[in-house]
A = this chain, B = another copy of it.
């Protein structure tokens, strides 16, 4: 069974190739009886449209490009998964490239995918600035996950970072904590700063003072959590609870605690952000803010599909986090 072409199908069905194309693409009306004939012929020959030919002729690749900072990492996996799954059901393809969170590499990834004639670009990047993106948007539909760009709001899938950490902090406060420290992500990262803002807001609203001493910028990594804790202790800042910029940093806090003989949550409470898979399996199980990564990815893929292939106007969505209470936070006596 070698590859059959549209021509063979058409002759076997006794119609023109154009008609076959009409039934495969579902783009024009076809009499029900002829449709059946064609479908039968397709099945008999095991016909699969040649996508290169389709692309060449239709000027569409039926493929979306996706760029993520890293192919590994607990955060990107679920996002890729959601995008791929959604698009596959819609019979579209994804080509994923990694950008390593570096401007140069991410731009190369863009070029790489553009050369591939992708119909749109889903971007979960960190090194592409607003100028570049606005420019890019003129050439191809783009969809941004986790990055806010003025003027591109409608193509933005966004998380309410501020509100998320606000909730997390309030949870701590509700448990009686007053001396709370915050281990923030990289200062140049948008989301890191929004989260810091949520922390400050919650603290002030509760009548608690927040000075620079209670916040340290490190990174969204295990190492960042470790360093952050060390910094706080070195600087003599007292605390009964720590909110980590993300779960990985929270694991760093755990690690620091283990190294120095502290017990969580007995000695101090910890809350994270993202709700990555591992968070449910560390000891103590990490209380955190659930980031609806998967839903966000699906929404993003759907939005892209709708705009590109169905001419619907895109509409940005702002997602909210949910508090996931587990075992790493206890009431302060």
Question: Which chain A residues have a beta carbon within 8 Å of chain B's beta carbons?
Answer: 48-53, 55-56, 61, 63, 70-74, 76-78, 80-81, 84-85, 88, 93-98, 112, 114-117, 222, 251-252, 254-255, 258, 277-278, 281-284
Shortest CB–CB separation between residue A9 and chain B, in angstroms? 15
> How long is the Cα–Cα vector from A268 to B94 in the complex, in angstroms?
46
Contacts of A254 in B (CB 8 A): 283
Closest to A259 in B: B283
Contacts of A63 in B (CB 8 A): 95
Shortest CB–CB separation between residue A224 and chain B, in angstroms? 12
Closest to A60 in B: B52
A-B residue pairs in contact (CB < 8 Å), sample of 17: A50-B117, A52-B55, A56-B56, A70-B77, A71-B78, A71-B80, A72-B74, A80-B96, A81-B98, A84-B96, A84-B97, A84-B98, A88-B112, A93-B95, A94-B95, A251-B278, A252-B281
> How long is the Cα–Cα vector from A96 to B51 in the complex, in angstroms?
17
Contacts of A252 in B (CB 8 A): 281
> How long is the Cα–Cα vector from A84 to B72 in the complex, in angstroms?
11
Shortest CB–CB separation between residue A8 and chain B, in angstroms? 17
> Would A49 and B96 count as touching, CB distance under 8 A?
no
How many copies of the polypeptide does the oligomer hold? 2
> How long is the Cα–Cα vector from A255 to B88 in the complex, in angstroms?
36
> Would B97 and A88 count as touching, CB distance under 8 A?
yes
> How long is the Cα–Cα vector from A245 to B41 in the complex, in angstroms?
50
Q: A52-B56, A72-B81, A251-B281 are in contact. List 8 more A-B contacts (CB 8 A).
A: A49-B115, A52-B55, A80-B96, A84-B96, A93-B95, A96-B96, A252-B281, A278-B278
Contacts of A251 in B (CB 8 A): 278, 281
Shortest CB–CB separation between residue A141 and chain B, in angstroms? 16
Shortest CB–CB separation between residue A78 and chain B, in angstroms? 5
> How long is the Cα–Cα vector from A78 to B112 in the complex, in angstroms?
21
> How long is the Cα–Cα vector from A85 to B70 in the complex, in angstroms?
11
Shortest CB–CB separation between residue A91 and chain B, in angstroms? 9
Contacts of A56 in B (CB 8 A): 50, 52-53, 56
Given contacts A71-B81, A98-B84, A222 and B112 within 8 Å (CB-CB)? no
Contacts of A55 in B (CB 8 A): 52
Closest to A55 in B: B52
> How long is the Cα–Cα vector from A74 to B251 in the complex, in angstroms?
16
Contact of A77 among B73, B88, B222 (CB under 8 A): B73
Contacts of A283 in B (CB 8 A): 254-255, 258, 283
Contacts of A95 in B (CB 8 A): 63, 93-95
Contacts of A74 in B (CB 8 A): 72, 74
> Would A222 and B98 count as touching, CB distance under 8 A?
no
Shortest CB–CB separation between residue A82 and chain B, in angstroms? 9
Closest to A223 in B: B281
> Would B61 and A70 count as touching, CB distance under 8 A?
no
